[in-house]
Copies of this chain bind each other. A is one copy, B any other.
Amino acid sequence: MFTKVLIAEDHEMTSISVTKTMRDLGISETEYTYYCDDALMLIKKAIAKGQPFDLLITDLSFEEDHRKQRISGGTELIALAKTLQADLKVLVFSAENKPALVDGLFKDLGIDGYVRKARHDAKDLRAAMETIFLGKTYLSADLKQSVKEKNTFEFTSFDITIISLLSGGTLQKNIPDYLQANHIKPSGLSSVEKRLNVMKEVLGFSKNEQLVAYCKDFGII
């Protein structure tokens, strides 16, 4: 099993339980922190001492408080940690239930496991630790389902830009201005309209409001 684990989790309650789980698994060196900035610092120090962490367990969303943080959340923390220590195993422990988001974590950040805070999360966490230790990746059972049955449609960054602008209040007819200002091509109004039509047709929608609701539900925007 892993010997040196770092836990980044802002909820005191959750942190207590995770720590207990580590103890149950016989992991002696467990450090934990409530802030992303501290987590990165601990990773740095551990590397400097020649005793890097084997595993990082982190939440995704960290709440703001009086202590101003440079790192905004788990996603950014993982990216930065990987630049310092490419072989660091990462296990995300979060309540997020958005397949698209979790997919992105595996694909873009190369995380090793995702356990959702849910009914059987303690068992899940233990199983994840064991699976990851064997060099495999782990995904909570409940999330596997939804990833499988997820929609085939792939949103391009262009799509996401359009929908973000709409949900931000930009008039459809003004979107070309924004696209040109940011050197995004294509930038014609017809191209925007066409892309919106494609998305709506694939997903069986008729209105932009539906698209926005859908993207919010699946964490696309």
Assess whether A161 is interfacial by the CB under 8 Å rule.
no
Q: How far is the CA of A213 from the CA of B213 in the complex (A)?
A: 6
How big is the A interface, by class?
35 or more
Which of B13, B95, B166, B213 interacts with A121 by CB under 8 Å?
A: B13
Q: How far is the CA of A16 from the CA of B10 in the complex (A)?
A: 17
Q: How far is the CA of A36 from the CA of B216 in the complex (A)?
A: 27
Q: Is the CB of A169 within 8 A of B119?
A: no
Q: Which of A139-181 contact B (CB under 8 A)?
A: 166-171
- Stretch of A37-45, A68-76, A81-89, A202-210 on the interface side: A202-210
Contact residues in B for A20 (Cβ distance below 8 Å): 16, 20
Assess whether A46 is interfacial by the CB under 8 Å rule.
no
Assess whether A122 is interfacial by the CB under 8 Å rule.
yes
Assess whether A56 is interfacial by the CB under 8 Å rule.
no
Which of B13, B122, B170, B213 interacts with A18 by CB under 8 Å?
A: B13
A127 to chain B, nearest CB (A): 12
Assess whether A108 is interfacial by the CB under 8 Å rule.
no
A146 to chain B, nearest CB (A): 12
Q: How far is the CA of A48 from the CA of B160 in the complex (A)?
A: 55
Contact residues in B for A123 (Cβ distance below 8 Å): 12
Known: A167-B209, A210-B169. A11 touches B121 (CB 8 A): yes
Assess whether A201 is interfacial by the CB under 8 Å rule.
no
Assess whether A118 is interfacial by the CB under 8 Å rule.
yes
Contact residues in B for A168 (Cβ distance below 8 Å): 210, 213
Assess whether A117 is interfacial by the CB under 8 Å rule.
yes
Nearest 7 CB-CB pairings of A with B: A216-B216, A167-B213, A12-B122, A13-B17, A16-B17, A166-B209, A212-B212
**Besides the known contacts A16-B20, A167-B213, 10 further A-B residue pairs in the complex with CB atoms under 8 A apart:** A12-B123, A13-B13, A13-B18, A13-B125, A16-B122, A20-B20, A95-B95, A166-B207, A167-B210, A209-B212
A and B contact pairs by CB, cutoff 8 A, 8 listed: A10-B119, A12-B121, A13-B18, A13-B125, A16-B122, A17-B17, A95-B95, A171-B206
